[in-house]
Structure 1
Amino acid sequence: MSTADIPEVIAAAAITAWDAEFDVVVAGFGIAGGCAAVAAATRGARVLVLERAAVAGGTTALAGGHFYLGGGTAVQQATGHTDSAEEMYKYLLSVSRDPEPDKIRAYAEGSVAHFDWLEQLGFEFERSYYPEKAVIQPGTQGLMYTGNEKVWPYREQAVPAPRGHKVPVPGDTQGAALVIELLVKRAAALGVEVRYETGVTNLVLDADGAVAGVTWRKPGETGAVKAKSVVLAAGGFVMNSEMVAAHVPWLAEKPFVLGTTYDDGLGIRLGVSAGGATRNMDQAFVTAPVYPPAQLLTGIVVNRKGERFVAEDSYHARTSAFVLDQPGAAAYLIVDSEHMERPVFPLAPFIDGWETVEEMAAGLGVPYETLQSTLDNYNANAAQGTDPDFHKGAEWLAPQDKGPWGAFDLTLGKALYAGFTLGGLRTSVDGEVLRDNGSPIPGLYAAGATSSTLAQDGKGYASGTQLGAGSFFGRRAGHHAASRSS
């Protein structure tokens, strides 16, 4: 049996005995599923969560803890950063691939309330700002820029504001585990039943094609649960080699994938089995950050032709996405002796240093004349505080004319790239799974990485949108699913 197979839909009339009945069944207890379960239970629904793993968390538990939120949150206000729902909307609209304006509008306009809801779980984002260019705050600072808000052309399309709100856990991994822990506690207090090591295997539909329940499996046991609504929040498909090969084959080549065993696309395939459409399945987030230290961004990134192709102050995933577009997915970051600083954890390995540009060109295997011309042009403009070619921000402009020069390797297969899938089920603003014709499948919802929420690609992604949108639209899905039981 193929791991890309679409599960069989089971007719409700074929179920001879239901072992339980709930208003809402949620498949998966990551950030989206946990928020859906809590939201549905808050509305008075009887909720069951089926989680294939032995513990809650999913891929969320591995995340650093960025939530992309804006519009004037308490942290933004406390740190003196003006923002509005309109500017957040305009920014997300500008960076999204094939955007769905109604979803982006809802997310932006509901962002402050969602921030408050998250804090009501029992933690507080620190009212502090981290001003440096980094992948994630090194400490517990509550806010930083985590996207391309200050990068051209986006800085001209929306007023920049930092929106990367970090859970107050130091370090760059597992910060979101705190939120999962609090969601588990809140779910228990609301009477949500959670069955671990128990996974949904099939959707059960009635004669009209509406959701009637699910079948499930756990070691040595199977059964069927009757439900008015089902929320699919079972992660993405980065761990399913057949689905990756079919939709994003380049992701299977060399990057290290970010996910858990259960990011096998089952939630997506369950939605498809009921007639659900998919979106953005050929998109993935892939990155090998060259910063920190941020000073390296004053250098230039060139391809095998010795030409620049991206503004070096871009968010790390945007730069990486442009690298992967280059011939041979090869690129090099070049920095002179005055701006050289070695990263503590280099994901893009240092290649070597050279006394002359000609020697460097030979060492990198790029045309000397082109590389020298690229450097000369950049240096002349940087000395004037401009970058007419790629519009790099003025704070990152500095001539790279003090030899010797060093280079870091951004080439796929040399740099340590990591990634995850961005595609999933097509959903409404309330998380309803939609058919190709745009009509909703009655009683079926999806959220988190199982859905294609903001239709972003690697060039437009901002850290925190997976947790931010996953939790936000998970809540909306839970609320709407609960409304079907009233």
Structure 2
Amino acid sequence: MRDEMISQDGQPVISIENADMFQWDDAADVVVVGYGGAGICAALELVENGASVIAIDRFNGGGATAFSGGVVYAAGTDIQRQNGVEDDPDNMLKYLRLEVGDVVQPETLKRFCDQSAGNLQWLQSHGVVFGTKLYTGKTTYPPEGYFLQYSGNEKVEAYCRDAKPAPRGHRTLGRGFTGNKLYRALRETADRSAIRKKLHTIVQSLVVDGDGRVVGVAALELPAAKHAEHQKYYDKFPPTAPFKESKAETASKAARVMEREHGQLRYIRAKTGVILSTGGFVFNLDMLGQHAPMLSKHYKTMMRLGTLGDDGTAVQLGTALGADTVGMDAMFVGRVQSPPAALLDGILVNQTGDRFANEAVYVGTLGRAIAAQPEGKAWLIMSTKDIRKAMRQVATDGLDAFMRFGAPAMLNLMLGGTKRARDLDVLAEKCGINPNRLRQTVRRYEDMVRNRHDDDFSKLKDHLKSLGNGPYVAMNVSLANRYSFITFHTLGGLALEEATGAVRRADGSTIAGLYAAGRATGSIPSRTYISGLSLADCVFTGRRAAQSCLREAEQDALAPA
């Protein structure tokens, strides 16, 4: 009878009368669904405070965290003080108010800032090592050997008028993108703990009792003999691999077939609560088409910054119980403009010939601006002198920087539909832009260069440079250009009661026994995104959900029988 309650294709909610009378396959105080950055932080917080934990992951764990830059956003840290940086949570709060607005309650944002240095120390106490050398330039990701950076728009004039600029991006020690180092350190600590892992296990349903409380999950557990084959589908398509999207969809479908054919149904009890931390939904094309049709249309020519596990599981499970969502149409869209730094000296125009953004803003701010243009079309107009300078920079920035940033820029220049012309009229014709409007745009820009101030977008003076009198180059940075290497991932998710991390309904009530953390939620990075904010939020929301479960267990223990 029990095994007839759920099909292999799953149903999002299973109702039982009494959890104590139900036949479970396993049990723990808390079940954590999704063992990436937020999930592992929650599990560690729980187990170190006496709770029993079962951590479940569809694949081998790590999620997007393991592929990230390994940057954590924090203020008032020892690393800042070592570099003579004067910063504190109040200053961080002033800046983040400009970035995230009212996406969370003011007291939540303040708590996030106040706890940021402590959360960084918590990571360090669990084996994560952060580098200390300060990089003061403007770049998407610091050069090798540098680990403290201005990782957002802190130095942009529109922001620094209200908040003193400070480098708050703390990069995990290592070469290249170091999210794998951060996650590996946490995983090594977790593997020495009492956390019990169920990997290659796919949660299909939440189990609720007669009172409507979440008391467990139903999941398909793959046999150990299938783990390696299942993991191969995941490993073949890391988020930063280009030209992968169609093949990744095929792999995702093959993984689902394996899960249905070989998964063994298991019911796992959560005596105190379930924490959903399965990431976003960038690999769920149905959800993507519903909430971000422009990106869904162009997904084959873009790069989804997520893993096959970013399949929207948490949102689907939560909303089946009436959960509200936040920011589901909010997306991070990233266009790397620098390095090479010389590309910041050009101007971005849309198909009508209008300049539409500060070319030196954060990668996510720039990408979002491109995505907002008609049909997602945009051009970077430069002088040939700027191009030669960019090529020299690419040649001298080191191998790792070349592979991650220089090579994509050069590929776009050579294969992405770049246009060249001796004068602006011919260039406009080649790009399909109105020549009169392009001339007007360039004329206004040159006036601002002479006046040493960008009245339109407050571009940094270091990159406010003349385009000269030709020849000119127009680099195609449109969404439909696969060589533009524009990235994206989802930002929104389940709505939370912000003091506890409990999943809430639209009427403000919470779903008993259900919590969420990380990218599965509509938390601090759910409207906009800067480097380090998501990992910092994973620690903040993961530990918050765990602490709420611990308090609930303590209250249950004190309640009269």
Quickly name the TM-score band, shorter chain normalised.
Answer: over 0.9
Q: Does 1:316 align with 2:363?
A: yes
Aligned to 1:225: 268
Aligned to 1:195: 198
Aligned to 2:111: 106
Q: Does 1:444 align with 2:514?
A: yes
Query: Which of 528, 532, 535 pairs up with 1:467?
Result: 535
Aligned to 2:95: 91
SS in 2 for 1:213: strand
Q: Which amino acid aligns with 1:278?
A: T
Partners in 2 of 1:261 and 1:12 — Cα distance? 35
Q: Does 1:81 align with 2:85?
A: yes
Q: Which amino acid aligns with 1:141?
A: Y
Aligned to 2:479: 412
Aligned to 1:356: 423
Answer yes or no: is the 8 Å Cα contact 1:95–1:456 preserved in 2. no
Query: Which of 170, 177, 182 pairs up with 2:175?
Result: 170
Select between 264-273 and 349-358 the one with higher mean Cα deviation: 349-358
Query: Which of 57, 62, 76 pairs up with 1:57?
Result: 62
Q: Does 1:298 align with 2:341?
A: no
Structure 1 residue 189, shift from structure 2 partner: 2.8
Q: Which amino acid aligns with 1:162?
A: P
Structure 1 residue 155, shift from structure 2 partner: 2.0
Partners in 2 of 1:439 and 1:83 — Cα distance? 38
CA separation of 1:6/1:133 partners in 2, compared to 1, >3 Å: closer, same or farther?
Answer: farther
Structure 1 residue 418, shift from structure 2 partner: 1.5
Partners in 2 of 1:306 and 1:427 — Cα distance? 43
Structure 2: gaps of 5 or more residues: 1-5, 223-262, 395-405, 555-561
SS in 2 for 1:186: helix
Partners in 1 of 2:294 and 2:282 — Cα distance? 12
Structure 1 residue 85, shift from structure 2 partner: 0.8
Q: Within 5 A, what are the aligned runs for 1:30-429?
A: 30-53=36-59, 55-70=60-75, 72-96=76-100, 98-100=102-104, 101-172=106-177, 175-219=178-222, 220-227=263-270, 228-254=272-298, 255-340=302-387, 341-342=390-391, 344-347=406-409, 349-350=412-413, 351-414=418-481, 415-429=484-498
CA separation of 1:4/1:129 partners in 2, compared to 1, >3 Å: closer, same or farther?
Answer: farther
TM-score normalised per structure 2:
0.81
Partners in 2 of 1:270 and 1:261 — Cα distance? 17
Q: Which amino acid aligns with 1:261?
A: L
TM-score normalised per structure 1:
0.93
Partners in 2 of 1:11 and 1:69 — Cα distance? 44
Query: Which of 12, 18, 28 pairs up with 2:24?
Result: 18
Partners in 2 of 1:384 and 1:339 — Cα distance? 21
CA separation of 1:5/1:158 partners in 2, compared to 1, >3 Å: closer, same or farther?
Answer: farther
Structure 1 residue 5, shift from structure 2 partner: 9.0
Answer yes or no: is the 8 Å Cα contact 2:525–2:533 preserved in 1. no
Write out per-residue CA displacement over residues 366-406 of structure 1, whole angstroms, 9 at most, x where no aligned residue. Answer: 22222222212211221221111222122221122152221
Partners in 1 of 2:151 and 2:9 — Cα distance? 34
SS in 2 for 1:208: coil
CA separation of 1:226/1:421 partners in 2, compared to 1, >3 Å: closer, same or farther?
Answer: same
Partners in 2 of 1:466 and 1:251 — Cα distance? 21
Q: Does 1:432 align with 2:502?
A: yes
Q: Considering Cα pairs closer than 8 Å and 6+ residues apart, tell me whether 1 or 2 has the greater RCO.
A: 1
Q: Which amino acid aligns with 1:214?
A: V
Answer yes or no: is the 8 Å Cα contact 1:237–1:263 preserved in 2. yes
Partners in 2 of 1:283 and 1:97 — Cα distance? 13
Partners in 2 of 1:391 and 1:127 — Cα distance? 30
Answer yes or no: is the 8 Å Cα contact 1:103–1:453 preserved in 2. no
Structure 1 residue 139, shift from structure 2 partner: 1.6
Partners in 1 of 2:188 and 2:15 — Cα distance? 33
Question: Alpha carbon RMSD of aligned pairs, Å?
Answer: 2.2
Sequence identity percentage = 33
Aligned to 1:7: 12
SS in 1 for 2:407: coil
Structure 1 residue 134, shift from structure 2 partner: 2.0
Q: Which amino acid aligns with 1:400?
A: L
Structure 1 residue 184, shift from structure 2 partner: 2.1
Write out per-residue CA displacement over residues 238-257 of structure 1, whole angstroms, 9 at most, x where no aligned residue. Answer: 11111111112222122221
Answer yes or no: is the 8 Å Cα contact 2:502–2:545 preserved in 1. yes
Q: Which amino acid aligns with 2:141?
A: I
Partners in 2 of 1:291 and 1:12 — Cα distance? 58
Structure 1 residue 207, shift from structure 2 partner: 2.2
Answer yes or no: is the 8 Å Cα contact 1:4–1:240 preserved in 2. no
Select between 239-248 and 3-12 the one with higher mean Cα deviation: 3-12
Q: Which amino acid aligns with 1:226?
A: R
Answer yes or no: is the 8 Å Cα contact 2:56–2:201 preserved in 1. yes
SS in 1 for 2:474: strand
SS in 1 for 2:95: helix
CA separation of 1:358/1:238 partners in 2, compared to 1, >3 Å: closer, same or farther?
Answer: same
Write out per-residue CA displacement over residues 230-286 of structure 1, whole angstroms, 9 at most, x where no aligned residue. Answer: 110111111111111111222212222122222111111111222221110011111
Structure 1 residue 439, shift from structure 2 partner: 2.1
Answer yes or no: is the 8 Å Cα contact 1:33–1:447 preserved in 2. yes
CA separation of 1:4/1:282 partners in 2, compared to 1, >3 Å: closer, same or farther?
Answer: farther
SS in 2 for 1:485: helix
Answer yes or no: is the 8 Å Cα contact 1:138–1:170 preserved in 2. no
Q: Does 1:454 align with 2:516?
A: no
Structure 1 residue 111, shift from structure 2 partner: 0.5
Structure 1: gaps of 5 or more residues: none
Partners in 1 of 2:14 and 2:532 — Cα distance? 34
CA separation of 1:289/1:404 partners in 2, compared to 1, >3 Å: closer, same or farther?
Answer: same
SS in 2 for 1:9: strand
Structure 1 residue 361, shift from structure 2 partner: 1.8
Select between 160-169 and 137-146 the one with higher mean Cα deviation: 137-146
CA separation of 1:423/1:107 partners in 2, compared to 1, >3 Å: closer, same or farther?
Answer: same
Aligned residues: 480
